[in-house]
Amino acid sequence: MSAPDAIASAAATRGNPITARRVVVGAIVAVIGLGSVVVPWTFYALILAIGLASIYELNALCEKKGQPLEYPVALLGVGGYVVMAALGMLHKWEGVLLAGIVIAAFWIGMYGEQKGYFARTAYTLLAALYIGKLLTYFVFVRQIPGDGLWLTFYLILTIALTDIFGMIIGTLVGRNQLTKISPGKTVEGSLGSLLVVTIFAIVATRVPQLHLLWWQGGVLGLLTGIAAQAGDLVESALKRDAGVKDAGDMIQGHGGVLDRFDSYLFGGVAFFATLHLLGILQV
Nearest C-alpha neighbor of 81 from the set 132, 137, 13: 132
pLDDT for the residue numbered 97: 97
Instruction: Compare 108 and 42 and report the one with higher pLDDT.
Output: 42
Instruction: Compare 94 and 115 and report the one with higher pLDDT.
Output: 94
* Res. 8 pLDDT band, cuts 50 70 90: very low
* Res. 73 pLDDT band, cuts 50 70 90: very high
* Res. 12 pLDDT band, cuts 50 70 90: very low
Question: Are 177 and 171 a contacting pair, CB within 8 Å?
Answer: no
Q: Which residues pair with 186 in a beta bridge?
A: 177
pLDDT for the residue numbered 54: 95
**How many C-beta neighbours within 10 Å does residue 144 have?**
16
Q: Which residues pair with 251 in a beta bridge?
A: 255
* Res. 6 pLDDT band, cuts 50 70 90: very low
Instruction: Compare 223 and 2 and report the one with higher pLDDT.
Output: 223
Kindly report which listed range (43-57, 89-103, 252-266) carries the lowest average pLDDT score: 252-266
pLDDT greater than 50 at residue 13: no
Domain boundaries, the chain: 1-37+146-283, 40-143
pLDDT for the residue numbered 182: 85
* Res. 145 pLDDT band, cuts 50 70 90: very high
pLDDT digits (tens, 9 = 90+) for 247-265: 776 665 557 899 889 999 9
* Res. 215 pLDDT band, cuts 50 70 90: very high
Instruction: Give residues with Cβ within 8 angstroms of 184, minimum separation 6.
Output: 14, 15, 16, 170
pLDDT greater than 80 at residue 24: no
Nearest C-alpha neighbor of 130 from the set 43, 231, 226: 231
Question: Are 131 and 58 a contacting pair, CB within 8 Å?
Answer: yes
pLDDT for the residue numbered 198: 98
Percent above pLDDT 70 for the chain: 88
Average pLDDT over residues 60-86: 92
pLDDT for the residue numbered 200: 97
* Res. 151 pLDDT band, cuts 50 70 90: very high
Mean pLDDT of the chain: 88
Percent above pLDDT 90 for the chain: 65
Kindly report which listed range (28-37, 105-114, 125-134, 266-275) carries the lowest average pLDDT score: 105-114
Instruction: Look at the pTM and tell me if it is higher than 0.85.
Output: yes
Instruction: Give residues with Cβ within 8 angstroms of 118, minimum separation 6.
Output: none
Give the dihedral of Cα atoms 22, 25, 27, 32; nearest 10 deg: -160
* Three-class SS of 51-104: HHHHHHHHHHHHHHCCCCCCHHHHHHHHHHHHHHHHCCCHHHHHHHHHHHHHHH
Give the dihedral of Cα atoms 187, 188, 193, 198; nearest 10 deg: 90
pLDDT greater than 50 at residue 69: yes
